Structure 1
Amino acid sequence: MRPLSAMRRAAHEDAATMVDRLGELVSCESPPGSIPHLRACADLVAGWGEAVLGRPARRVVRDGLPHLLWSARDQRVLLLGHFDTVWPAGTIRQWPFAVTGETATGPGVYDMKAGIVQMFTALGLVADTSRVGVLLTCDEESGSATSRTLIERQALRSGAVLVCEASSPTGGLKVARKGGSVYRLTVRGKAAHAGVEPQRGVNATVEIAHQILAVQALASPSEETSVTPTVLAGGTTTNTVPEAATLAVDVRAWTRDELERVDLGIRRMATRLPEAVLSVGGGINRYPLTPDVALPLLTMAQAAAKDIGLPPPPGAHAPGASDGNFTGALGVPTLDGLGAVGGGAHARGEYVDVRAMPDRAALLAALIEQVLATPT
């Protein structure tokens, strides 16, 4: 085992390489669902992983999407992340990777490509990675539909899951995340001529408007539960009573009970217009990540930080969800936010503090060593 006092120094010696790799990874676009782009990004990342782990990645391809898995026989630690971003192909031409002073910007730099660079740097600092597994998926930003079972299977084989998603803007590690649900409400009405005989139609747009108000009423400000209508579509031509309309709904809550309350409320909603028909698709996607599975690992991370001369990172609560929600919901010890320090996820202003990257890599390495040294 490398002396912990030397880990931070070794990470800082790799600082320039980390920034170069970050530029290479950000420039290798990985938009959601674009299989050619995701394959190219997987190729790049797989090479980095093999170099530090000494074993090749297994490509788990589902619906054409290439997830990367380095499993370990006695898997004490699972490092979890994703290499897809929310940005469409071609964004890099309009908004290229750049480093200005101490800040790096570019599509996906914060969520979560800097976390991947830090992850592999950290693994290079760990003396023995034979009990460390790594899983990098490529559909997290679109809901993890093809990777969820893979994530859960690997988590259940592991003593702890360390999620290399971005930290809070102040460097806090995420000990709680809201859970989330996604719904698609579809209304079927009846078409008619909007000017000649609108009374013969059943207006799906009017019905979906009633449903928007009903959905919003399920929110609970006191519980910080949000129920947000998002994408709306309906109608065909301006002179036709719409016979169909759809509405997407995003739900976020801190507790399982709140997600289930909203779920029941949405499924019980009734139509207001005679002859309109409402159907509900979707449901609960991720249950919350709760502090009980994270706080023991936070304590270990704070001790690891002291060992390498860093201030102990605080715990943070994050409204957004991650794949760590899946592992925490299984009761597997899970700590999130071990990736980059920065901000602006999913916005053109997303950024990373490149000064913090070596220290975050060293912190992750020291935490891995602590978990490996803890008796099971």
Structure 2
Amino acid sequence: MKLELIALASAAALLAMPAQAAPQAATRDAKLWAAAEAARPEQLKLLEQIVDVDSGTGDVEGGRKVAAILRARLEALGFSVESVKAEADGLPENTVATLNGTGRGRILLIGHIDTVFGPGAVAQRPFRMDAAKAYGPGVSDEKGGVVEGLYALQILRDLGFKDFKQIVFLIETSEERGSTGTQGLIARLVADADVELNLEPGDTPDVLTVWRKGATTFHIEVKGRAAHAGIAPQEGRNAAVELIHQIQADDVFPKSGDGLTANLTLLEAGTRSNIIPEKASAQINVRVRDKADYDKVQAVLEKNAAITVVPDTKVSINRGGEKSFPPLPTNPGTDALADRAEAIYASLGMKITRGGNGGASESALAVEGGIPALDGLGPAAGGFHSDSEYLLLGTVTPRLYLLTKLIQELGHAPPPRLK
């Protein structure tokens, strides 16, 4: 009986407590949505304009041509625009556009205009659209996101939004080679920012990127001895045969999946059909969720390099050539930004999900530098790094609304730095 009285008293006390207000659901900003819808025709027109310029990594002329188009637009929005010399040879300049406001948040937007496609790609398959998708070299990776970023800034200007301390828009030119010409610049910009928003495409059907693998490349070099393949092949030491042995010995790592992967991507040997190859080389592209896995892979490669099957050949292992990207780990800062994004999308009556992939990006550098970052904010897309690359047109306006609203919220109330 005593226990029953205690239970009844406890229940009465709970009923007497004031009810806590439920979290207020986000509501759609009708004015902002109308602006995003109105921007669509011109947004797609600008996308077509810059997609139809070849700008593969290392195409200095093409990169400068795209940058000039975007620079003029940014200057018209009141941004101070600077061309910053790349940190590696053979690359066009990076573009840094800065606008000061009257609020608190310091927001860093990052996008890249280099693609994986060489000269002549546009002539073979220029920009085109069907009812559901847009196509063309770099249409989603990442020119669609860069154009989205520019139109978000235009909408904010048109709405008179100044409730931010600073917005910096970095448009870089070497992301597809590991940001070899930009990593130092990114570190400096991250140090002066509260949050980074990355304009890489979202995965299909409508996914935010909350984790990414880091990336690096290991180079296997084999030195043998040349000889006439017909008269005295026994005097040669075939570097190609030894390289094949090394690749087979290294074939112990997963080729796909959400964890560590290591894949052969480039192979070279020999100079002529009648000469025993004196040199041979291969590149192994390694993707990791944990930076410590880089050292584990290197240890295996170096152990195998010490064991050769072709006498008098020498095998060396080098890591780099391209700078390494760290992983973007799951972390509370990114999760909190994803919560915001989900609420904004919900206000549109839409659902956005979270995921990750093996593609590296600058958001990993931002998180490593101590600020929260959210990736995959460009339009959702697929077919990356292939002739079938596409952008989902149905996500263009919702993603523009999302990015613009995030900038408004983060300008007003920036997130804390990561611990």
Fold match (TM-score > 0.5): yes
Query: For the residues of structure 1 that align with 2:48 and 2:256, how far apart are their CA atoms?
Result: 41
Number of the residue aligned with 1:200: 235
Q: What CA deviation, in whole Å up to 9, does each residue of 1:33-57 have, x standing for no partner?
A: 01111111110111122223x1231
Q: Give the secondary-structure state (helix, strand or coil) at the position aligned to 1:183.
A: strand
Partner of 2:339: 299
- Name the counterpart of 1:91: 121
Distance (whole Å) between structure 1 residues aligned to residue 175 and residue 109 of structure 2: 15
1:340 is the counterpart of 2:379: yes
Change in 2 beyond 3 A, CA 1:75/1:277: farther
Task: Count matched residues.
Answer: 372
Aligned equivalent of 2:149: 119
Which deviates more from structure 2 when the two are superposed, residues 180-189 or residues 122-131? 122-131
Equivalence for 2:23: none
SS in structure 1 of the partner of residue 85 of structure 2: strand
Q: From the superposition, tell whether residues 196 and 219 of structure 1 become closer, same or farther in structure 2 (CA, over 3 Å).
A: same
The equivalent of 2:167 in structure 1 is: 132
Specify which of 318, 325, 337 is matched with residue 286 of structure 1: 325
Partner SS, residue 359 of structure 2: coil
1:19 paired residue number: 44
What aligned pairs does 1:105-184 form with structure 2 within 5 A after superposition? 105-126=135-156, 127-128=161-162, 130-184=165-219
Contact 2:306 2:315 in 1 (8 A): yes
Distance 1:229 1:28 in 2: 31
What is aligned with 2:390? 351
Q: 1:28 aligns with which of 53, 61, 64?
A: 53
SS in 1 for 2:200: coil
Amino acid at match of 2:318: G
Q: Is residue 218–residue 265 contact of structure 1 (8 Å, CA) maintained in 2?
A: no
**Greater displacement, 188-197 / 267-276:** 267-276
Structure 2 residue runs without a partner (length 5+): 1-27
Once the two structures are TM-superposed, the CA of residue 71 in structure 1 deviates from its matched residue by: 3.6
Following TM superposition, by how much is the alpha carbon of 1:86 offset from its aligned partner in structure 2, in angstroms?
1.2
Q: Does 1:246 pair with 2:286?
A: no
Residue 58 (str. 1) matches residue 82 (str. 2): yes
Matched, 1:265 2:300: yes
CA contact (8 A) 2:173 2:181 kept: no
The residue matched to 2:395 in structure 1 has which SS?
Answer: helix
Separation in 1, partners of 2:254, 2:58: 31
- Which of 311, 315, 318 is matched with 1:274 structurally? 311
2:274 is aligned with 1:229: no
State the secondary structure of the residue aligned to 2:43.
helix
Of the two, which has the highest radius of gyration? 2
For the residue of structure 1 that corresponds to 2:315, the secondary structure is: strand
Supply the distance in 2 between the matched residues of 1:310 and 1:153 (Cα, whole angstroms). 39
- Between the aligned partners of 1:102 and 1:224, the Cα distance in structure 2 is 33
How many percent of aligned residue pairs carry the same amino acid?
30
Task: Tell me, in whole angstroms, the C-alpha distance in 2 between the residues paired with 1:118 and 1:10.
Answer: 13
Question: Given that residues 112 and 175 in structure 2 are in contact (C-alpha distance below 8 angstroms), is that contact kept between their aligned partners in structure 1?
Answer: yes
**What secondary structure sits across from 1:371 in the alignment?**
helix
**3-state secondary structure, aligned to 2:365:** helix
Q: In the alignment, does 2:107 pair up with 1:77?
A: yes
Residue 242 (structure 1) shift: 1.1
Instruction: Specify the code of the residue in structure 1 equivalent to 2:147.
Output: V
Is the contact made by 2:61 and 2:92 (CA closer than 8 Å) also made in structure 1?
A: no
**Distance in 1 (alpha carbons) for counterparts of 2:290 and 2:213:** 7
User: Contact (CA 8 Å) 1:125, 1:362: kept in 2 or not?
Assistant: no
Question: AA paired with 2:81?
Answer: A
Q: Which runs of 5+ in 1 are unaligned?
A: none
Q: CA 1:220/1:228 → structure 2, altered by over 3 Å: closer, same or farther? A: closer
Deviations 1:300-353 (A, max 9, x none): 21223334x242421111121112222223332111000011211111111112
Who is 2:24 aligned against?
Answer: none
Q: Distance in 2 between matches of 1:87 and 1:77?
A: 30
- Closer, same or farther in 2 for the Cα pair 1:224/1:291, shift >3 Å? closer
Q: CA deviation at 1:255?
A: 1.7
Task: Please name the residue that 1:360 is paired with.
Answer: 399
Return the offset for 1:135: 0.4
Q: Within 2, Cα distance between the matches of 1:137 and 1:221?
A: 29
Find the aligned partners of 2:95 and 2:259 in 1 and give their Cα distance.
35
Q: In structure 2, how many angstroms separate the alpha carbons of the residues matched to 1:143 and 1:346?
A: 15
Task: Give the corresponding residue for 2:360.
Answer: 321
Distance 2:293 2:29 in 1: 43
Structure 1 residue 369 corresponds to structure 2 residue 408: yes
